[in-house]
């Protein structure tokens, strides 16, 4: 901070520079006689910045300095006893000081980049990184340089701030994986603006983290729903099929149509989970996301419609059958896995309908009168190219 104080006094042509931690000296009476004297108020500004920094609530030194400087400046600009001309002059001095200070900061960073040795030059997959590539970030810590790809940094940051054991938001602070040191606030800001400059699609979670000044408590409090949904999505799409298999069976039992499926015990678990992962995401949102929201209500409707149409497309899904290969009676045991993709199941536009079966862990039937909901239609309304009328009869089974 003394560098900032030095520049501030240099721009006001102060001959004898003083600093807040120097021994106390009383200003001369001539300074007090002129209320708008710049030198007097620059001294006041420096002392106020120093004491504001001492009592700042932030841990990171950069944030402490920023808060102290701008709060002290505002105390002058918001003071009605100062003339507007004086306020404008003080603001211009402060702005020039900031400009010089950040110019020296950039010069220092250039020096560090050229001087300090590179400790890590590969990404997390051990691929070599080009230091001049726009997607390479240079992290400077403890007189050393670490090269990161932006994709790795986003993954590290998102994993930390989206930490949600049992789908409850408990964000962690992002760490440098090579020395287990937390990223400083200035590093996080540099990463954020590097992402903006690179043209890469910005991470939603990282952007929300940035909006809260990288305060993980405020980030968690204000974005709990988004964090939880992200945690559910990662769990459903990244977990192995051995973990999700029982959840798929529970989901199928929750629907009044798919509960009629007789999934053979030898039906390949990996295929079953792969087919129903998108359905399972909706199912987990319904049961584990924040309750009593319009999103839950809409997801219930959509999941009911899609599971119902999935069943009507093939009501014999999951069964085992025997296929005769040749005339000599050679047989082959197969499983009925014919299905329609979750993303190809058509959804009709909103039409008045009076009944809706709400799905969940324990299916409950609710009669909702005079509500406009998504119509799941009659059997003959499945007009997708993959849905032939003769495949939708309940009496037909695919064998």
Write out the DSSP string of 246-297.
HHHHHHHHHSTTGGG----TTS-HHHHHHHHHHHHHHHHHHHHS-SSSHHHH
User: What pLDDT is stored for residue 360 in this prediction?
Assistant: 42
All residue ranges of the chain with pLDDT < 70 are 22-38, 329, 349-399
pLDDT at 49: 87
Phi, psi of 380 (to 5 degrees): -80, 5
Note the pLDDT of residue 349. Answer: 55
pTM: 0.72
Task: Tell me how far apart the alpha carbons of residues 235 and 256 are, in angstroms, rounded to a whole number.
Answer: 26
Give the whole-angstrom CA distance, residue 357 versus residue 256: 8
User: What pLDDT is recorded for position 60?
Assistant: 74
Alpha carbon 92 to its chain centroid, in Å, reads: 38
The whole-number pLDDT of residue 24 equals 53
Own/partner long-range contacts of 36-43 (Cβ < 8 Å, ≥24 apart): 36/82, 36/83, 36/86, 38/12, 38/89, 38/90, 38/93, 39/12, 39/14, 41/76, 41/90, 42/8, 42/9, 42/12, 42/14, 42/93, 43/18
pLDDT at 322: 83
């Amino acid at each position: 901070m003394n560098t900032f104080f030095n520049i501030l006094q240099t721009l006001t042509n102060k001959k004898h520079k003083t600093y807040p931690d120097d021994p106390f000296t009383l200003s001369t009476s001539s300074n007090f006689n002129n209320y708008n004297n710049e030198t007097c108020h620059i001294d006041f500004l420096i002392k106020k910045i120093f004491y504001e920094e001492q009592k700042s609530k932030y841990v990171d030194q950069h944030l402490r300095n920023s808060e102290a400087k701008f709060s002290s400046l505002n105390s002058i600009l918001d003071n009605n006893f100062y003339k507007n001309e004086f306020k404008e002059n003080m603001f211009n001095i402060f702005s020039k000081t900031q400009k010089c200070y950040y110019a020296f900061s950039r010069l220092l960073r250039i020096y560090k980049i050229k001087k300090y040795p590179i400790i890590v030059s590969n990404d997390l997959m051990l691929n070599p990184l080009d230091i001049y590539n726009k997607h390479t970030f240079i992290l400077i810590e403890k007189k050393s340089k670490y090269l990161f790809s932006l994709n790795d940094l986003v993954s590290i940051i998102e994993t930390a701030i989206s930490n949600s054991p049992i789908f409850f938001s408990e964000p962690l602070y992002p760490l440098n994986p090579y020395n287990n040191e937390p990223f400083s606030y200035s590093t996080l800001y540099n990463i954020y603006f590097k992402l903006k400059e690179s043209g890469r699609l910005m991470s939603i979670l990282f952007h929300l983290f940035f909006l809260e000044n990288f305060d993980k408590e405020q980030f968690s409090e204000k974005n709990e729903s988004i964090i939880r949904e992200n945690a559910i999505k990662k769990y459903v799409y990244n977990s192995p099929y051995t973990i999700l298999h029982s959840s798929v069976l529970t989901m199928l039992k929750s629907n009044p149509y798919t509960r009629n499926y007789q999934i053979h015990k030898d039906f390949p678990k990996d295929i079953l989970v792969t087919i129903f992962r998108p359905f399972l995401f909706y199912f987990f949102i319904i049961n584990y996301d924040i309750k009593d929201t319009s999103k839950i209500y809409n997801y219930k409707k959509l999941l009911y419609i899609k599971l119902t149409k999935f069943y009507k497309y093939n009501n014999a899904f999951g069964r085992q059958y025997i296929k005769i290969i040749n005339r000599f009676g050679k047989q082959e045991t197969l499983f009925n896995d014919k299905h329609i993709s979750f993303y190809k199941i058509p959804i009709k536009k909103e039409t008045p309908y009076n009944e809706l079966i709400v799905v969940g862990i324990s299916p409950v039937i609710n009669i909702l009168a005079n509500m406009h909901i998504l119509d799941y239609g009659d059997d003959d309304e499945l007009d997708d190219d993959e849905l032939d009328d003769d495949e939708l009869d309940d009496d037909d089974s695919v064998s």
